[in-house]
Amino acid sequence: MSNNPIIVFEGIEGSGKTTLINLLSKYLKKKKKIFIKFREPGGSKNSEKIRKFILNNKSNLNYKTDLLLYLASRSENYEKLIKKNYKKKIILIDRFIDSTIAYQHYGMGINKSLILKINKFILGNIKPDLTFLNLVNKNNLKLRLKKRVNKNKYDKFAFSFYNKVQKGFKKISKNNRKYIIVNSNNSIADNKKLLINTIKKIL
């Protein structure tokens, strides 16, 4: 693996991926490693604008428009953040290609090969080197959904939708050594240990 890998954090809402990515960036800072960190949708200036457009509470864009905007956001990130830093800096991303497959294909039913084709058009052969996939058990997912605050359009979906999306993430990661499964029901301390031990092995 490259000394400057692309490391992605995936999982459904409330699965703890943002906590983990923040823990990793603290660790990398302490170790004086050079890295960039961004989220999708969002990241570069234009992508943050696209994020607001897709995710604001009043958004009534249809699911095909959403797909094209998630990909537009990725395309902006490729040009502004990924291309120039690829293999020069560690790249940490909060959601990436797998979120599009999990939400837009497994969740919304959009054709998978269409999504993969546009991703390839945007990214060429660039792929994540390692993905931490955060999984939540069904009971905890129900509890989290009850307590949630509607921060954005995608926070309003029903349990069955997130269940489909999480099953999609599981399918994507099955039998693939590039995925580290994080059990979000474990303590943050335990998951931090798993995270840092994995990173120590690859950097």
Which residues make Cβ contacts (< 8 Å) with residue 89, sequence separation at least 6?
A: 4, 34, 35, 36
Residues 49-108 that bind ligand TMP (CB under 6 A): 70, 95, 99-100, 103-104
Comparison of 28 and 105: residue with beta carbon closer to ligand TMP:
105
Number of amino acids touching ligand TMP (CB under 6 A): 11
DSSP state letters, 7-69: EEEEESTTSSHHHHHHHHHHHHHHTT--EEEEESS-SSHHHHHHHHHHHSTT----HHHHHHH
Residue 164 makes contact with ligand TMP by CB under 6 A? no
Q: Which one of the spans 39-47, 130-138, 141-149, 194-202 is the region binding ligand TMP (CB under 6 A)? A: 39-47
What is the smallest separation between the CB atom of 61 and ligand TMP, expressed in angstroms? 12
| Residue 3 contacts residue 35 (beta carbons within 8 Å) | no
What is the smallest separation between the CB atom of 171 and ligand TMP, expressed in angstroms? 16
Residue 128 makes contact with ligand TMP by CB under 6 A? no
Q: Is 90 helix (H, G, I), strand (E, B) or coil?
A: strand
What is the smallest separation between the CB atom of 185 and ligand TMP, expressed in angstroms? 19
DSSP 186: S
**What burial class does residue 79 get, using C-beta atoms within 10 Å of its C-beta: 0-12 exposed, 13-18 middle, 19+ buried?**
middle
Residue 37 makes contact with ligand TMP by CB under 6 A? no
What is the distance between the alpha carbons of residues 145 and 158, in angstroms, rounded to a whole number?
A: 8
Comparison of 33 and 128: residue with beta carbon closer to ligand TMP:
128
Comparison of 28 and 39: residue with beta carbon closer to ligand TMP:
39
Q: Print the binding letters for residues 3-22 with ligand TMP: x by CB under 6 A, - otherwise.
A: ----------x---------
What is the distance between the alpha carbons of residues 138 and 195, in angstroms, rounded to a whole number?
A: 23
CB-nearest residue to ligand TMP: 154
Comparison of 151 and 193: residue with beta carbon closer to ligand TMP:
151
Buried b (16+ CB within 10 A) or exposed e, 62-77: eeeebbebbbbbbbbb
Determine which residue in the list 78, 132, 154, 169 makes contact with ligand TMP, applying CB under 6 A: 154
Identity of the residue numbered 18: T
State the residues that interact with ligand TMP by CB under 6 A. Answer: 13, 39-41, 70, 95, 99-100, 103-104, 154
